[in-house]
């Protein structure tokens, strides 16, 4: 269906691909992996024709339709979210827009004299709309948007008023509604809550076209794909199976290459020793010459490149009192909408609460109440004795000074720390070598999140309040963070849509539902086993 044959591609001084090849067949679901900057987005852009390879061929079967979702959603405004989603399907959306205009014209007194012509035109447009099954399409568009957690109100509102994250969902819904022959999805799991993520997972499992996707969410990707393509030093290596199988195979081939490399090094050392020892002796001249020639002809085995994985070690936080957070009879609402009524909630030392709830249930509001970023309408929020809080929210990243470099930002926060200490800290969070000289204004969302996290964890608080901490993090940083937080000796209250993060770190669950607030002893994994659902409001097993 789609083939890349001997592709080579260079961006500036960086060589991304050297004679790399891969194929994507109908019905295959493939995960594309590789370190940041390896060329994943460039690969998508070459398949869609937005970029050309320097060498080699991108071959696509004639008539193949391709839907490409990228993080760059472009401008959207002046129409409803539903209309914007239907836009992706072509002429139907133009007809729907004309029908809406004609409906408005029919009731406009200034156009009463043209009513007959308007009604006639409306009949023609409506007939064409019906022929193309437009009414069914609108229902499908609403179904997809509902799956991505849109309320009816948000579906019909102006798409231009939505935040960046919601616009991303509109762009994703557009591709899903198209149901093209092949979908290229670049980080579709970013900006989604747990409910939307589980819905999208089910949708993609049932999709019968070809799928090539990247995602920092390991559990999400693992449940969908049956094949992995890795970008590794300019080549494309294909593995059958999911990410777990890929990890095993990769480790195995690295071990084999290391053993091969060590055997060859030992043989080369022996030969070189012989040459050095006998090169001055005329009696051994022929043997020395033949061995020199033999060495010249040997194809050298390269040592496998070590993947850098840095561990972050927590300093021990100071001990807090036993009662860490206490909410008594808390009421909180926005406008007419009550979110909490008479909420009582106690967090004790060393408890790790994950907060689950559908969109709009008040997860972030609870964290803001605890962090003091918003006040209750009634009731009290008390933080216990000797509690030192670290609060991570999406807006934390906007507080970085754009003119400072990464290193200056760390130095400003920890003037007593030595240069070596701060460089090690930066390295743990993925900033090695000259990276620390980057100004904060040029950092990506993921880099900003890593810097904020590094600043928060270096001088550790004994209470961590985290709102979607893994949103922008790649798999390696996320894994490092999970391991570091597993050893954290303090208390945690967090919201996350990442099931690996939820399962690995929680030992209590606070579930927010329309019927009320439920507390569960045991972590997320026990919650799923007990309720038979992965998130509140989903059908058991769904």
Mean pLDDT of 60-88: 85
Give the CA angle between residues 309, 310, 316 to the nearest 5°.
145
Mean pLDDT of 248-272: 87
- Name the DSSP letter for residue 181: S
Confidence (pLDDT) at 536: 79
Cβ neighbourhood burial of 324 (10 Å; 0-12, 13-18, 19+)? buried
* Contact (CB, 8 A) for 510 and 356: yes
Q: Any alpha helices (H) in 372-523, and if so which ranges? A: 406-413, 419-428, 445-458, 475-486, 499-505
**Lowest-confidence range among 72-76, 186-190, 480-484, 517-521?**
72-76
pLDDT-derived band of residue 523, with 50, 70 and 90 as boundaries? very high
- Name the DSSP letter for residue 300: P
437 vs 250, residue with greater confidence: 437
Cβ neighbourhood burial of 91 (10 Å; 0-12, 13-18, 19+)? exposed
Measured CA to CA, the distance from residue 261 to residue 304 in angstroms comes to 8
- Name the DSSP letter for residue 188: T
**For residue 48, is pLDDT > 60?**
yes
Q: How many CA atoms lie within 13 A of 88 on its CB side?
A: 26
**For residue 540, is pLDDT > 50?**
no
**For residue 184, is pLDDT > 50?**
yes
pLDDT-derived band of residue 35, with 50, 70 and 90 as boundaries? confident
**For residue 9, is pLDDT > 70?**
yes
Q: Residue 455, Cα to own-chain centre: how many angstroms?
A: 22
Q: Residue 384, Cα to own-chain centre: how many angstroms?
A: 35
Q: Distance between terminal CA atoms of the chain?
A: 32
Mean pLDDT of 457-466: 92
Confidence (pLDDT) at 542: 36
pLDDT-derived band of residue 541, with 50, 70 and 90 as boundaries? very low
* Contact (CB, 8 A) for 319 and 460: no
Q: pLDDT tens across 353-368, in order?
A: 999 988 778 999 999 9
Q: Express the helix, strand and coil content of the chain in percent, nearest 5 each.
A: 45, 25, 30
Give me the numbers of helices (H) and strands (E) for the chain, helices first please: 18, 18
Measured CA to CA, the distance from residue 514 to residue 182 in angstroms comes to 39
Task: Render 512-536 in DSSP notation, one character per residue.
Answer: EETTEEEEEES-HHHHHHHHS-SST
Of all helices (H) and strands (E), which one includes residue 311?
none
Average pLDDT, the chain: 88
**For residue 449, is pLDDT > 90?**
no
Measured CA to CA, the distance from residue 232 to residue 430 in angstroms comes to 19
Measured CA to CA, the distance from residue 263 to residue 259 in angstroms comes to 6
**Lowest-confidence range among 130-139, 228-237, 297-306, 398-407?**
297-306
Measured CA to CA, the distance from residue 457 to residue 444 in angstroms comes to 20
Tell me the pTM: 0.77
pLDDT-derived band of residue 299, with 50, 70 and 90 as boundaries? confident
Of all helices (H) and strands (E), which one includes residue 66?
strand 66-69
Measured CA to CA, the distance from residue 509 to residue 536 in angstroms comes to 11
Measured CA to CA, the distance from residue 195 to residue 357 in angstroms comes to 9
3-class DSSP assignment, residue 125: helix
Distances in Å between the Cα of 471 and the Cα atoms of 22, 60, 300, 408, 496 are 30, 34, 42, 25, 8
3-class DSSP assignment, residue 164: helix
Of the candidates 92, 248, 255, 247, the one whose C-alpha atom is nearest the C-alpha of residue 178 is 92
pLDDT-derived band of residue 257, with 50, 70 and 90 as boundaries? confident
Q: pLDDT tens across 409-427, in order?
A: 999 999 988 888 899 889 8
Residue 360 Rama label (left phi>0; alpha psi -120 to 50; beta)? left
Which of 95-99, 290-294, 343-347, 477-481 is modeled with the greatest confidence? 343-347
Cβ neighbourhood burial of 528 (10 Å; 0-12, 13-18, 19+)? middle
Q: pLDDT tens across 102-115, in order?
A: 999 999 999 889 99
Residue 516 has φ and ψ, to the nearest 5°, of: 140, -175
* Contact (CB, 8 A) for 215 and 189: yes
Of the candidates 53, 3, 2, 22, the one whose C-alpha atom is nearest the C-alpha of residue 180 is 2
Report the 10 Å Cβ neighbour count for 131.
Answer: 9
Residue 501 has φ and ψ, to the nearest 5°, of: -65, -45
Supply 351's token pair: 């408890």
3-class DSSP assignment, residue 462: coil
Task: Render 468-504 in DSSP notation, one character per residue.
Answer: STTTT--HHHHHHHHHHHHT--SEEEEE-S-HHHHHH
Q: pLDDT tens across 145-158, in order?
A: 999 999 999 999 99
* Contact (CB, 8 A) for 8 and 55: yes
Q: pLDDT tens across 374-384, in order?
A: 999 999 999 99
Mean pLDDT of 433-453: 86
- Name the DSSP letter for residue 108: -
Confidence (pLDDT) at 305: 66
Measured CA to CA, the distance from residue 507 to residue 210 in angstroms comes to 39
Report the 10 Å Cβ neighbour count for 18.
Answer: 15
Q: How many CA atoms lie within 13 A of 477 on its CB side?
A: 24
Supply 218's token pair: 């390991």
Confidence (pLDDT) at 508: 96
Confidence (pLDDT) at 427: 87
């Amino acid at each position: 269906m789609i083939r890349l044959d001997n592709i080579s591609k260079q961006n500036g001084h960086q060589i991304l691909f050297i004679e790399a090849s891969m194929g994507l067949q109908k019905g295959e679901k493939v995960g594309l992996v590789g370190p940041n900057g390896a060329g994943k987005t460039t690969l998508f852009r070459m398949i869609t024709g937005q970029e050309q390879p320097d060498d080699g061929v991108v071959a696509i079967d004639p008539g193949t339709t391709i839907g490409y979702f990228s993080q760059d959603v472009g401008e959207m405004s002046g129409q409803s979210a539903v209309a914007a989603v239907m836009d992706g399907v072509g002429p139907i959306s133009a007809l729907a827009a004309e029908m809406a205009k004609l409906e408005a014209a029919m009731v406009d007194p200034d156009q009463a004299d043209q009513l007959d012509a308007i009604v006639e035109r409306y009949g023609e447009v409506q007939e064409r709309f019906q022929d193309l099954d437009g009414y069914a399409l609108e229902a499908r568009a609403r179904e997809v948007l509902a799956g991505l957690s849109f309320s009816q109100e948000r579906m019909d509102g102006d798409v231009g008023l939505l935040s960046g994250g919601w616009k991303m969902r509109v762009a994703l819904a557009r591709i899903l509604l198209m149901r093209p022959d092949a979908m290229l999805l670049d980080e579709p799991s970013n900006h989604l809550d747990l409910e939307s993520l589980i819905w999208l997972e089910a949708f993609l499992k049932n999709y019968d076209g070809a799928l090539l996707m990247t995602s920092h969410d390991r559990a999400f990707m693992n449940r969908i794909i049956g094949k992995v393509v890795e970008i590794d030093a300019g080549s494309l290596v294909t593995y059958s199976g999911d990410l777990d199988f890929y990890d095993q195979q990769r480790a195995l081939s690295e071990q084999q290459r290391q053993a091969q490399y060590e055997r060859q090094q030992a043989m080369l050392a022996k030969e070189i020793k012989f040459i050095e020892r006998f090169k001055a002796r005329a009696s051994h001249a022929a043997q020395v010459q033949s061995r020199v020639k033999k060495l010249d002809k040997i194809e050298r085995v390269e040592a496998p490149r070590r993947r850098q994985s840095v561990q972050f070690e927590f300093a021990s936080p100071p001990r807090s009192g036993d009662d860490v957070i206490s909410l008594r009879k808390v009421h909180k609402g926005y406008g007419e909408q009550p979110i909490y009524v008479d909420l009582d909630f106690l967090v004790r030392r060393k408890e790790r609460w994950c907060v689950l709830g559908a969109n709009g249930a008040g997860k972030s509001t609870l964290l803001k109440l605890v962090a003091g970023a918003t006040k209750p309408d009634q009731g009290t929020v008390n933080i216990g004795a000797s509690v030192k809080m670290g609060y991570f929210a999406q807006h934390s990243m906007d507080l970085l000074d754009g003119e400072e470099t990464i290193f200056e930002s760390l130095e400003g926060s920890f003037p007593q720390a030595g240069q070596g200490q701060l460089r090690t800290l930066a390295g743990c969070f993925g900033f090695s070598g000259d990276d620390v000289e980057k100004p904060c204004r040029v950092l990506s969302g993921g880099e900003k999140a890593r810097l904020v996290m590094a600043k928060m964890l270096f001088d550790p608080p004994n209470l961590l309040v985290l709102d979607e901490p893994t949103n922008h993090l790649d798999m390696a940083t996320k894994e490092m963070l999970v391991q570091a937080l597993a050893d954290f000796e303090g208390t945690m209250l967090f919201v996350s849509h990442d099931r690996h993060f939820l399962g690995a770190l929680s030992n209590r669950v606070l579930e927010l539902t329309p019927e009320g607030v439920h507390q569960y002893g045991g972590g997320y994994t026990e919650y799923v086993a007990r309720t038979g659902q992965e998130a509140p409001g989903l059908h058991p097993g769904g």
